[in-house]
Amino acid sequence: MTVENLEPEDVARRLAEGSVLLVDVREANEFALERIEGALLVPLSTFDPQALPDPEGRKMVFQCRSGARSTTAAVRCLDAGLACGSHMRGGILAWKAAGLPTLAGEPA
C-alpha cells in the first residue's frame, strides 16, 4: 500500500462534512502556536499506531507543518497493518497558502 496524498481543500471539505479525523503529528509547542480547528494532537515523537483513537467511521488523515512527518505517520500505520495511510499534502503551510483558517493559542 502507498500513502494517499490529500489536498488541503479536500481535507477542509471533509472536515466540514464530519467525514475526517484530522491528526496533527507536530509537537505540542507547534500545536499551541497554531492549529487547524478540529485537529487532534498526537506528536510523532511519541507516535504509536496501535494507540491511535478510533476514528468512529471517519477517514483518519495525518497533518504536520509541511507534509514530511505526516507521511512518516501514515507509513508507520500502513507498516503496522492499519488502514489509515492518508496525509494532507504540504501540511499546515499548504493549508494556509490555500487561504484556509487556523486557530492560534491552546485549545479550550
Q: Which residues are catalytic?
A: 64
In angstroms, the CA 100 to CA 107 distance is: 18
Write 70-73 long-range contacts (CB < 8 A, 24+).
Answer: 70/25, 71/3, 72/25, 72/44, 73/23, 73/25, 73/42, 73/44, 73/47
Structural contact between residues 25 and 42, judged by C-beta atoms closer than 8 angstroms: yes
- β-pair type (86-88, 40-41): unpaired
